[in-house]
Amino acid sequence: MEPDELLKVRDRYDREMRRDALPDAAEARVDRVGAVVRQTAPGQGWNGVLWSDLDEETADAEIAAQVAYFAGRGAGDFEWKLYDHDRPADLGDRLRAAGFVPEPAETLLVGRVDELAALPVDPPEGITLRVVTDEAGVDLMMDVHAKAFGTERPRIRHLLLTLLEEEPETIAAVVAMAGDTPVSAARMEMRPGSSFAGLWGGGTLPEWRGRGIYRLLVAHRARIAAERGIRHLQVDASDDSRPILERLGFTRLGTTVPYVWTGTA
């Protein structure tokens, strides 16, 4: 994409996915409070700040207000999702001073659905795709995530089960199977009316990497997005997945860092 087009796409992303964001599940709520857009969710749902429009005069007070809000609700943690073009320029430093802990930076990538859906990808020998529609499929995904990333992800399991039950049209999840063994898994989240869909959770068991499975799962989800009329795919990419996605045609829009408050820092 040309620089002018990238800026327009970034502005559209900020508007649709952050400033005018929809809840990521029916049980969640998104509120705009002054210069902040935040999501609040019960139980294992995601709590956090999606967007803010702050400056040097307002940032510290707004950070304190959000800490007080989520702490008052008894949230065990919440995330302030910071992008490198957010204001003020030292917002990350201010979040750290308020007790937030930054997680590893990720690269915000976008790709055009029409191009990605046309990728000539055939399943590697011995690999089949299983579309996830029920709890058994979700458990296969969680098995892959635990082995690929080395962590259990109960919050993701809860989200997947909730979406499949209450809003199945907003989720497309898939597991790559080698016989009866799940070896890779990923999902795509789609919100009504948005021109973006998010690719999340792409992970492959170490011994199965380098065979084109990750590419296969990207192309599979891109074809679903194309059928829905979605224009762009978005990924918060790790350093491992970024080079693969860039080779497939994704373009960098910036970087994002999750700042997490747990009340114990």
pLDDT digits (tens, 9 = 90+) for 48-90: 999 999 999 999 999 999 999 999 998 889 999 999 999 999 9
Instruction: Out of 16-25, 61-70, 113-122, 128-137, pick the least confident.
Output: 113-122
User: Would you state the pLDDT for residue 265?
Assistant: 47
What's the rounded Cα separation, in Å, for the pair 35 and 124? 48
Q: What is the mean pLDDT of the chain?
A: 95
pTM: 0.93
Instruction: Out of 86-90, 116-120, 229-233, pick the least confident.
Output: 116-120
**How confident is the model over 212-218, as a mean pLDDT?**
94
Would the pLDDT of 179 be above 90?
Answer: yes
pLDDT band at 264; cut points 50, 70, 90: low
% of the chain beyond a pLDDT of 70: 99
User: What one-letter code names the amino acid at 230?
Assistant: I
Q: What are the chain's domains?
A: 3-107+256-261 (3.40.630), 111-253 (3.40.630.30)
What's the rounded Cα separation, in Å, for the pair 106 and 250? 14
**How confident is the model over 86-114, as a mean pLDDT?**
97
**How confident is the model over 127-153, as a mean pLDDT?**
95
pLDDT band at 152; cut points 50, 70, 90: confident
Phi, psi (rounded to 5 degrees) for 152: -80, 150
Structure tokens at 226: 């194309």
Q: Which pLDDT tens digit goes with each residue over 187-199?
A: 999 998 999 999 9
C-beta of residue 183 within 8 angstroms of C-beta of residue 177: yes
User: Would you state the pLDDT for residue 1?
Assistant: 73
2 burial level (CB within 10 Å; 0-12, 13-18, 19+): exposed
What's the rounded Cα separation, in Å, for the pair 163 and 170? 7
Give bridge partners of residue 236 from the DSSP assignment: 108
Contacts 24+ apart (CB under 8 A), 89-98: 90/56, 91/52, 91/54, 91/59, 92/257, 92/259, 94/59, 94/60, 94/63, 95/63, 95/259, 96/259, 98/60, 98/63, 98/64, 98/67, 98/261
User: Would you state the pLDDT for residue 120?
Assistant: 79
User: Would you state the pLDDT for residue 38?
Assistant: 98
